[in-house]
Amino acid sequence: MPDQPIVLLTNAMHPDGEAILAPHVRLIVPPDARPETLREWAKDANGIIVRAKLPDDIVDHAPRLKGIVRHGVGLDFIPVDAATARGIAVANLPGSNTSAVAEYVMSALMHLRRPLYRLDKSLRSDGWNAARPAADSLIELSGSALGILGVGTIGRRIANIARDGFGMTVLGTSRRKGALPAGIKEVSLEDLFTRSDAIAVCCGLTDETRGMVSRDLIGRMRPTAVLVNVSRGAVIETPALIDALRSQKIGGAALDVFDVQPLPSNDSLFDCPNLLLTPHTAGITATSGRAMAVGSAEEMLRILRGEQPLNLVNPAYKAA
Q: What pLDDT digit, counting tens, does each position of 84-137 carry?
A: 999 999 999 999 999 999 999 999 999 999 999 999 999 999 999 999 999 999
What superfamily in CATH does domain 6-96+286-319 come from? Answer: NAD(P)-binding Rossmann-like Domain (3.40.50.720)
Q: What is the pTM of this model?
A: 0.89
**Rounded Cα–Cα distance for residues 282 and 38 (Å):** 25
- Beta carbons within 10 angstroms of residue 252's beta carbon: 24
- Over the stretch 32-50, which tens digit does the pLDDT of each residue have? 999 999 999 999 999 999 9
Coil, helix or strand at residue 270: helix
CB 185 within 8 A of CB 169: yes
* Count of Cβ atoms closer than 10 Å to residue 243 Cβ: 15
Contact 93, 74 (CB under 8 A): no
- Rg of the chain over CA atoms, in angstroms? 22
Between CA 86 and CA 65 the distance in angstroms is: 9
163: DSSP letter: I
The ranges assigned to domains in the chain are 6-96+286-319, 98-277
Q: Which fold, 98-277?
A: Rossmann fold (3.40.50)
For 204-240, the pLDDT digits (tens) are: 889 999 999 999 999 999 999 999 999 999 999 999 9
